[in-house]
Amino acid sequence: MTFRVWPRTLAAQLVIVTAAAVLISNVAVAAWFEMGREQLTENAITERLIDRAVSAATLLASIPAKQRGPAAHALSSGPWRFQVHRGKAPVQTMSDAERTLAARVQVLLPKAKTRRVVEVRFRPTTPEELKQPRGPQSVTEVTIPLVRGTQLITTYYRPPPPPWPVQSIVATLVAILVTALAAGLLARRVTRPLSKLASAASEVARGGTAPHVPEEGPDDVRRAAAAFNAMNNQVTRTMESQRQLLSAVGHDLRTPITAMRINTEFVEDADTRDRLTKNIEELQELTEAVLSAAKGVGWEQMRKIDLAALAESVCADLEEMDKAVTWESHAAAPVTCRPNEIRRAIRNLIENALAYGKKANVHLQDTPEVYELIVEDEGPGISDADRERVFEPFVRLETSRSAETGGTGLGLTLVKAIAQGHGGSVRLENRAEGGLRASLRLPREAAPA
């Protein structure tokens, strides 16, 4: 099982990006001020360390030797420790930072002591020091000679930096919450009309009638909705005009064909009458096929059916006519479509397989996105060059299929028009074991969110 971390909806992405931007900006600003505060604190601590070390050394150098120890102890408090060391101080190598701080202390000492070496040492905390509550982060020791053989060791235990104040954290969380709510409201204002527009476009792609899309939201979204509504109205008017035109053409063509059929009855020669009757029947069949193909799809109302039951009924009808059709049982496959058009498409595919492949094996496959009705035959198949051309009107591949199959060359054209009118597709491919496989793909209904 895979989990999608990044959301796919515009509203969720806008909320997440806005909240993340506020969080990053607040953290960056807080870090910037924290760095500045730490620098100011460091400078202040350094100045205070120099001042207290020099002041304590000056004071202890001016009192009797016996009083220096107790006085140093009295000066010790908090992070400050003062200790009088008697004897020769150990010489140690100082780093550049330590030498810089020692030089600053040396400058502030009385002139009588300037010739004596001041030593500074930055050392890490010991395990014992870390065990103390809020143990020091680091330790700085400044050794200043008082008199010959006596030094004052000033030790400063630097406490760890204080945690970020709760007020700053609360303010950041409030800012994130407020901006996320604002982004959510803005996203809702934008995505609601976009969702309706997408639903209407999907309905058109599936062959349905698109509802009027509310023209609301920002100007860009309103213009998109207005353009879609104008386009939908224009397409609807065009299709209605085409329907009226086709109805008139169909009526005008059927009338002379009927008159010709009646006139053939008065032809005395039987052979001539049979040839005329056959020609009129072919003309009638061609006329009906042309009208069906020209109409395409869209005249029937969409409704929900069981695709498996529909395909099974088509196969059963052809089996009753002694056609070599087999159907592989399948569970219910609910789909919203125009049932009569889908029935016509399925029947055309099966009859095509029977005409050129002698038999038709029909079964249904389903994926999370589509239902795929598959019709397989045992014929010669179709070359790669002709696989798309057979969907063009009046195309018949007589070089690879029987010349006596009949037909008008509009069957696959109509299947493709029906499939595309439902937002699906039709595909032909040769089987490895021989024969042709025709696949009619229809989109499944979207699962509820």
pLDDT at 233 over 90: no
Residues 164-200: tens digit of each pLDDT: 667 777 877 888 888 888 887 877 777 777 778 877 7
- Among the residue ranges 6-10, 102-106, 412-416, the one predicted with the least confidence is 6-10
Give percent of the chain with pLDDT exceeding 70.
81
Q: Does the pLDDT at position 160 exceed 70?
A: yes
Both tokens of 397, joined, read 């591949």
Could you state, in order of their start, the residue ranges of all structural domains in the chain? 10-158, 299-443
The H-or-E segment that residue 8 falls in is none
Residue 328: partners with Cβ closer than 8 Å, 6 or more residues away = 361, 362, 363, 364
Q: Which SS3 state, helix, strand or coil, does residue 115 take?
A: coil
In angstroms, the CA 114 to CA 61 distance is 14
**pLDDT score at 292:** 61
Listed residue (375, 373, 351, 346) closest to 361, CA to CA: 375
Instruction: Identify the residue whose tokens are 């196969």.
Output: 315
**Alpha helix positions (H), 90-165:** 96-108, 127-130
**Long-range contact set of residues 390-398: C-beta below 8 Å, sequence gap at least 24:** 390/428, 391/415, 391/416, 391/426, 393/293
Alpha-carbon Rg for the chain in angstroms: 46
CB of 336 closer than 8 Å to CB of 303: yes
pLDDT the model gives residue 308 = 93
For 285, the token pair is 């069949």
What digits encode the pLDDT tens for the residues 289-335? 666 655 555 566 788 999 999 999 999 999 988 889 999 999 999 99
DSSP letter, residue 145: E
User: Which of 103-112, 202-211, 416-425 is the least confident region?
Assistant: 202-211
CA dihedral sign of residues 252, 257, 262, 267: positive
Q: What is the pLDDT of residues 389-400, one digit of tens each?
A: 777 766 666 544
Domain 299-443 top-level CATH class: alpha beta
Over residues 192-214, the mean pLDDT reads 74
CA distance 202 to 331: 26
Taking each continuous run of H as one helix and of E as one strand, the counts in the chain are: 10, 11
Cα–Cα dist 150/64, whole Å: 12
